[in-house]
Structure 1
Amino acid sequence: MKRSGPLFTLLAGLLLALFMLSLNATTGTGRSAYGGGSGGASPTPSAGTPTSAPASSDKPSAKPSTSKPAEPPPDADYAGRTDDDSAAVSVSVKDGKAVAYFCDGRNKESWLKGNVEDDGSMRLTGKHGSKLEGTLAGKKLTGTVDVDKQAYRFSLTKAVKPSGLYRATQTVRGAKLDGGWIVLPDGKQVGILKRDGKPGPAPRIDPETGVVVVDGEKVTARPVVP
């Protein structure tokens, strides 16, 4: 009987060791399932966790435009010959409006008028379908004029008085006169004088005074403005 004491002590130690091993295994599994290990689910942030503020939707206000408004072309007169040298053209511009005269110095002429855009472009119209389309750029006016279904290109230079466009309407000795003159920058003149509607070459005028003698009487031609 005395020999069984150590045997019971050894058996009790083995049972205690098995119990501790079982307890350790159970505790380790619980940490794996609910702990912060690599295999566990990511923790859900609490309601009090601050989040980044949304970007402001307010857009910066547009800067005011600093560009200057377009200015109308300056008042001026232009004169010159067509590119084929068969006729002359003169255009007078004032306050955004224009009047033009096409003349071959013999029997073909046309008066045209219209507006001038801020960019210098113009489209003038006259009787019998006549039209003039041109563009101002610096001291030049270039374009095309259509008269009697024929197109003439031109390049006009800025005219300095007494160069420019003149017209006279008057009755002399019972005849109704209507004359148009273009005084070119080189001093030459191109014009037509109608007597009761019949065209013919116009007599020379004095550009300084506008005086022209018709049938022995003085007639005054004046600068044309829109």
Structure 2
Amino acid sequence: MKHPGPLFTVLAGVVLAGGIGIANLATGTGATPVAGSAGAASATSSQAPAATSAAPKSEAPKADAPARADYAGHVTGGGASVAVSVRDGHAIAYLCDGKKVEAWLQGGTAGGKLALKGAKNASLTGSFDAASVAGTVTAAGKTWQFSVPTAKKPAGLYRATPKVKGTAAKVGWIVQPDGSQVGILTTGDDSAAAPALDPAAGTATVDGAPVTAEPVSGLAGSGDF
């Protein structure tokens, strides 16, 4: 009998290879499924950071600046008082030390910010919200820092324009939230402490005569100060 030749050996190899391929398809262990699984795992891995990233923290909202408010108090360190009245985009402020230094200032407001100007290069800048106003005020060559609370009537800012011995005069008062007050009476080039104001009645006695004090708002009351 003759031994199988080379052709028989080749045919046997083809049959064997075909059997292995069929078995792989039946059991799901072929090369293509393995490559697909690796790709899916890679895609899942690349998406994981996005799924687990933390959302950015949001800042707490700031208190809204009121359209209308009045503030009064002492500058930082004492030595003077300041009052500010805000009305619908406009503000009037008054700085007073109760002796000689005083300044009336006014200007616009926007976004809770103040930028007020007065005579003789007086200025006030700051910000305000529903609870307080804070900033810097400059007058008579001096600068003060301040942070003062809201003021409810009768606290706040007042003024009057009486006559003293026949001469036109001006008076400004700041009534503090605790009821204390400070003011200046100016007659010509002379300044002195203002007479006591009765906030409930809105009157004071100047040069022996009764005078009506006008509450100052951010829209009116500063006159030509």
Tell me the equivalent position of 1:116. Answer: 109
Higher alpha-carbon Rg: 1
Instruction: Measure how far apart 1:196 and its partner are.
Output: 2.7
Q: Which runs of 5+ in 2 are unaligned?
A: 1-63, 220-225
Q: Which of the pair is proportionally richer in helix?
A: 2
Tell me the equivalent position of 1:147. Answer: 139
Tell me the equivalent position of 2:206. Answer: 214
Aligned to 1:128, the other structure's residue is in SS state: helix
Instruction: Report the identity percentage.
Output: 45
Tell me the equivalent position of 1:157. Answer: 149
Q: Which residue identity lines up with residue 180 of structure 1 in the other structure? A: G
Tell me the equivalent position of 2:171. Answer: 179
Aligned to 2:161, the other structure's residue is in SS state: strand
Tell me the equivalent position of 2:183. Answer: 191
Instruction: Measure how far apart 1:134 and its partner are.
Output: 1.0
Cα distance in 1, alignment partners of residues 68 and 114 from structure 2: 14
**Is the Cα contact below 8 Å between 1:72 and 1:96 reproduced in 2?**
no
Number of residue equivalences: 155
TM-score by length of 1: 0.66
Cα distance in 2, alignment partners of residues 171 and 150 from structure 1: 30
Cα distance in 2, alignment partners of residues 121 and 100 from structure 1: 13
1:126 to 105, 118, 126: 118
TM-score by length of 2: 0.66
Tell me the equivalent position of 1:102. Answer: 95
CA RMSD of aligned residues (A): 1.3
How do residues 35-74 of structure 1 correspond to structure 2 at under 5 angstroms? 73-74=66-67
Q: Which residue identity lines up with residue 83 of structure 1 in the other structure? A: T
**Is the Cα contact below 8 Å between 1:172 and 1:217 reproduced in 2?**
no
Q: Which runs of 5+ in 1 are unaligned?
A: 1-70
**Is the Cα contact below 8 Å between 2:66 and 2:129 reproduced in 1?**
no
Q: Which residue identity lines up with residue 186 of structure 2 in the other structure? A: K
Cα distance in 2, alignment partners of residues 203 and 86 from structure 1: 19
